Chains A and B, each alone.
Chain A
């Protein structure tokens, strides 16, 4: 427990109204979108980089854990303050500082909501591509810390592909800058890339510079329906192999399709084994050509039906199906656990089969949807957290899902981060030496282990490892 005089000192730094310490407030700063929960000793809302620096100096001096937090919509426990201490809520640092239409970049504070940036740059005919499903609520800081992805990842990449510069505060309070505003920049170590996805374990990010691209002129969406998921898997492989790069290539399995139909009744074919959703964007002529080629490949691989969106309204209805996937699965049972194991794109079908076998073996319902085009699937286990016996089976199934992903040459997380949820599998992916190297980085930048302790690493990193 933190001494209350320390909390008073924090209030002196950021102002009384920017510190929360009432039990009912602390309770609501203990969770994210996973089932893990902690309880901070206080919540601090910095509004400037100087605030963050002063907070970190105090935290460092007294060895107080600091867990930075955005909207806490994360899916790996990254912002859950499991060791108490300070929940550093960055949400009141929420200004867009600059949108530069000459050099095509934007500078933002970490509390800016991702969709707010996307909407603002769109007014200038520009695009900030990473679009996590939570973009209407998640913050830029959180998206950078977890290296969030999104539906457009296949063509446009993920958050790390757009962050070109950062201002950050080190564990001891020192303020430093990484990268810059240039498109090319190879001066020194790429500290920007190191911090992106570091989940608040290496520094606290207080300003983010992202590059922007011109918004695509045209787009075309289509939905292909398959009676056999194997045909859908083959279609994904062939689309990728034939050199096409749609912006979006999503898959939904039979369980997901039926859950969406139960919840929304939007006319999806219940007998279908899988759906693929494609979107091509760019120059109108290119989009036309790409969409036609995708349609051809779908037909050649046994799609039983293809629905092409003729206008924005039809496009919206195609997307409703995909967006409704998680919500609809969530309505089936009280608890819903979403994973994001990712495999090489050619292994999507094998991964889908592995998930189905695991579900069957453990008598669980697992609906799978996700970004088939980049191998990032979201097997979603629907269960009831009050049923201890079922939850044991769920844990075993999760273990096996990760095993399967790694066996297929994949990774634990495509876009949600490691946090608490996946830290115990890290050594399986990287081996002891791989973990030791990461530990050294952590220990060098945060020797007192006060920055988001307990995340990514199961064992406290130290220099002697």
Chain B
């Protein structure tokens, strides 16, 4: 078992066992159990690979209980890509016929049948978009992502209104859009993910896309790495910065609040986008920008990737991030990822009184203050 990891044996051996990975890992920090740290997981994968132990339920649980947030890699002196190794291990588990964890089975089935994790119909996928955008071809195509399409469509509306206001023409994939493949790829279902990538590639070609922009951080990560060879892939904040720098969008309404931008792992560590959301927020008149103690590549995951698999942990991790934001005096948490938005809002539900905090998505916040500059 885990023979696939042989290819990476030298990488696994490079683990210095220094424990730096402990620091940024919410799963390890949760009950301070070494077997859930990246160092422990690497040791377990090596043990299975060498036949030292069997692939027990316990080992599988540890392979499954990883946020794929890449905080370990950001802190790893040897630069080990534990995230990739974990996904490879999951692939091999799937190849060996081990089913995906029970609480992810519905997500997988929904993606297979409906091309989104929620099992909702294609037809509902672009209801929020201007009808002409759903029809037209354009160099610039909007890829909303499943979470934005079906549950957080305020994010899409805000982003597109900002573009509309600046007279920027774009197409929206709407019902032609498919899940980007990230959820199934993280389950170790590489072929299913590739199929979705191929379908999205075709849909984007059919619209004449040259540049694809998306409101979703997970999609940004996946589209940059899988379709970046053919299309320019931008997170919506990257596109908005470009527009703002060109003078096509400006912000006039004051936002006199203490705002902390909380880096999402997919957008930050995975896609390398740290500055665009900060740059935009800082343009809001009278805003006071704060930083989390651990930010950018050292940011700590909000727990969003566990929403389906380990909802209680997801909530707990979210609450911990909110507590940190409160401790630095933030009044507003700004995020640029629908999963962070959903999960942090869920985590904040238990807060009362002056410990309540406003959680906003960047484009939504900006749109309220924006003054479009038409060409």
Q: Which residues of B contact A386 (CB under 8 A)?
A: 13
Binding stretch for chain B, among A23-31, A296-304, A407-415, A418-426: A23-31
Q: Could you tell me the distance between the alpha carbons of A331 and B78 in the complex, rounded to whole angstroms?
A: 6
Q: A29–B34 contact, CB under 8 A?
A: yes
Considering only CB atoms, which chain B residue lies closest to A119 in the complex?
Answer: B293
Q: How many residues of B contact A (CB 8 A)?
A: 32
The contact of B79 among A23, A31, A73, A327, by CB within 8 Å, is A327
Q: A73–B47 contact, CB under 8 A?
A: no
Confirm or deny: A330 has a beta carbon within 8 angstroms of a beta carbon on chain B.
Answer: yes
Q: Which residues of A contact B75 (CB under 8 A)?
A: 136
Name the distance in Å between B311's Cβ and chain A's nearest Cβ.
20
Mark contacts of B32-73 with chain A using CB atoms, 8 A cut-off: 1 yes-contact digit, 0 otherwise. Answer: 111101011001100100001100101100100000000000
Mark contacts of B253-286 with chain A using CB atoms, 8 A cut-off: 1 yes-contact digit, 0 otherwise. Answer: 0000000000000000000000000000000000
Q: Which residues of B contact A72 (CB under 8 A)?
A: 17, 19, 34
Considering only CB atoms, which chain B residue lies closest to A30 in the complex?
Answer: B43
Confirm or deny: A138 has a beta carbon within 8 angstroms of a beta carbon on chain B.
Answer: yes
Mark contacts of B1-42 with chain A using CB atoms, 8 A cut-off: 1 yes-contact digit, 0 otherwise. Answer: 000000000100110111110110000000111110101100
Q: B53–A23 contact, CB under 8 A?
A: yes
Q: Could you tell me the distance between the alpha carbons of A443 and B18 in the complex, rounded to whole angstroms?
A: 32
Mark contacts of A93-112 with chain B using CB atoms, 8 A cut-off: 1 yes-contact digit, 0 otherwise. Answer: 01000000000000000010
Give the residue among B13, B19, B31, B75 with the most A Cβ atoms within 10 A.
B19
Considering only CB atoms, which chain A residue lies closest to B36 in the complex?
Answer: A28
Q: Which residues of B contact A33 (CB under 8 A)?
A: 16-19
Q: Which residues of A contact B14 (CB under 8 A)?
A: 330-331, 334
The contact of A32 among B17, B52, B56, by CB within 8 Å, is B17
Q: Which residues of A contact B19 (CB under 8 A)?
A: 33, 71-73, 134, 137-138
Q: Which residues of A contact B44 (CB under 8 A)?
A: 24, 27-28
Q: A24–B20 contact, CB under 8 A?
A: no
Q: B47–A335 contact, CB under 8 A?
A: no
Mark contacts of A310-344 with chain B using CB atoms, 8 A cut-off: 1 yes-contact digit, 0 otherwise. Answer: 00000000000000001100110011100000000
Confirm or deny: A305 has a beta carbon within 8 angstroms of a beta carbon on chain B.
Answer: no
Confirm or deny: A92 has a beta carbon within 8 angstroms of a beta carbon on chain B.
Answer: yes
Q: A136–B43 contact, CB under 8 A?
A: no
Name the distance in Å between B301's Cβ and chain A's nearest Cβ.
17
Confirm or deny: B77 has a beta carbon within 8 angstroms of a beta carbon on chain A.
Answer: yes
Q: Could you tell me the distance between the alpha carbons of A138 and B77 in the complex, rounded to whole angstroms?
A: 15
Name the distance in Å between A402's Cβ and chain B's nearest Cβ.
22
Q: Which residues of A contact B62 (CB under 8 A)?
A: 24
Q: Could you tell me the distance between the alpha carbons of A72 and B18 in the complex, rounded to whole angstroms?
A: 8
Beyond A137-B22, A330-B78, whether A28 also contacts B35 by CB under 8 A is yes
Q: Which residues of A contact B79 (CB under 8 A)?
A: 263, 327, 331
Q: How many residues of A contact B (CB 8 A)?
A: 39
Considering only CB atoms, which chain A residue lies closest to B54 in the complex?
Answer: A23
Beyond A24-B44, A386-B13, whether A92 also contacts B53 by CB under 8 A is no
Name the distance in Å between B25's Cβ and chain A's nearest Cβ.
10
Q: Which residues of B contact A27 (CB under 8 A)?
A: 35, 43-44, 47, 52-53
Considering only CB atoms, which chain B residue lies closest to A135 in the complex?
Answer: B23
Name the distance in Å between B304's Cβ and chain A's nearest Cβ.
24
Confirm or deny: A192 has a beta carbon within 8 angstroms of a beta carbon on chain B.
Answer: no
Find residues 105-156 in chain A having any chain B CB closer than 8 Å to their own CB.
Answer: 111, 113, 119, 134, 136-138
Q: Which residues of A contact B31 (CB under 8 A)?
A: 17, 92
Q: Which residues of A contact B34 (CB under 8 A)?
A: 25, 28-29, 72, 89
Confirm or deny: A20 has a beta carbon within 8 angstroms of a beta carbon on chain B.
Answer: yes
Q: A385–B35 contact, CB under 8 A?
A: no
For the complex of A and B, the 6 pairs showing the least CB-CB separation, nearest first, are: A327-B77, A28-B40, A73-B19, A334-B13, A28-B35, A24-B58
Give 27 A-B contacts (CB < 8 Å), ordered by A residue. Answer: A17-B31, A20-B33, A24-B59, A24-B62, A25-B33, A27-B43, A27-B44, A28-B40, A29-B34, A33-B16, A33-B17, A71-B22, A72-B17, A73-B20, A92-B31, A92-B32, A119-B293, A134-B18, A136-B23, A137-B20, A326-B16, A327-B79, A330-B14, A330-B77, A336-B16, A384-B13, A385-B13
Q: Give residues in B with beta carbon < 8 Å to A.
A: 10, 13-14, 16-20, 22-23, 31-35, 37, 39-40, 43-44, 47, 52-53, 56, 58-59, 62, 75, 77-79, 293
Q: Give residues in A with beta carbon < 8 Å to B.
A: 17, 20, 22-25, 27-29, 31-34, 45, 71-73, 89, 91-92, 94, 111, 113, 119, 134, 136-138, 263, 326-327, 330-331, 334-336, 384-386
Known: A24-B35, A45-B32, A136-B75. 15 other contacts (CB 8 A): A23-B56, A25-B34, A28-B43, A28-B44, A31-B43, A33-B19, A71-B19, A72-B19, A89-B32, A92-B31, A111-B32, A137-B20, A137-B23, A330-B14, A331-B79
